[in-house]
Structure 1
Amino acid sequence: MNISEIVWKSVGRGAVHPSEVLNVLIELDNRKGQIGLWALENELRAKIPLLRPTAQPLAKAWLEATIQYRMTYYPEGRLSRLFNRFSQPERESFPLAS
């Protein structure tokens, strides 16, 4: 089963354990690195608006966890932050998961 399937199955179930989230992100990082993390972020961003309202909070939590994981292990330099600001569409701000 690929990483995307694991994420979407947990969203469909409506629950996920925090250790499962961390294990999935570590596995994705080990398999595909930063590019894989970005791909999962983009997939989540694109599909969150299409989900039913009850599934959106968990999908947003996955997105926030993915962003935080990537930012922790792959900090961005000033130049890449500037480039990202101009090259990507306006991002919706998600509150930190608690």
Structure 2
Amino acid sequence: MRALDTIAESIRIGYVHPTTVLNTLIEAENEGGLGAVRRIERHLSTGLHALRDRQHPHSALAQTWLGAARAYLVTQAERRQAV
């Protein structure tokens, strides 16, 4: 999944532009539906624990990605419910 590569690279370098976050999540949904975004959220949740255990210097960025994925899922659920 290309989205996971983008996320991993941004965590490795310690930076991501907000537009990249949104575009990555949109692309993931376009490729695999909301299930793909849920899988990303699960990967991030698991990975975040591992990064924190290792005291990785960019674990806060992983937390940001996780928060963005969760917010994206909530927003999409609300949007579908409103229709």
TM-score, with normalisation over the residues of structure 1?
0.72
Q: 1: CA distance between counterparts of 2:19 and 2:49?
A: 26
- How far is the alpha carbon of 1:33 from its aligned partner? 1.1
Q: Give the length in aligned residue pairs.
A: 77
Distance, in Å, in 2 between the alignment partners of 1:42 and 1:66 is 10
Unaligned residue ranges in structure 1 (runs of 5+): 78-98
In 1: Cα distance, 2:56 partner to 2:9 partner: 16
- Select the structure that is richer in helix: 2
**CA deviation profile, 1:2-41 (whole Å, cap 9, x unmatched):** 1101100000010000000010011001111110011001
Consecutive unaligned residues in structure 2, runs of 5 or more: none
Question: Partner residue of 2:66?
Answer: 63
State the percentage of identical aligned residues. 31
**Who wins on radius of gyration, i.e. which is larger?**
1
Higher RCO structure, 1 or 2 (CA under 8 Å, sep 6+): 2
CA RMSD of aligned residues (A): 1.7
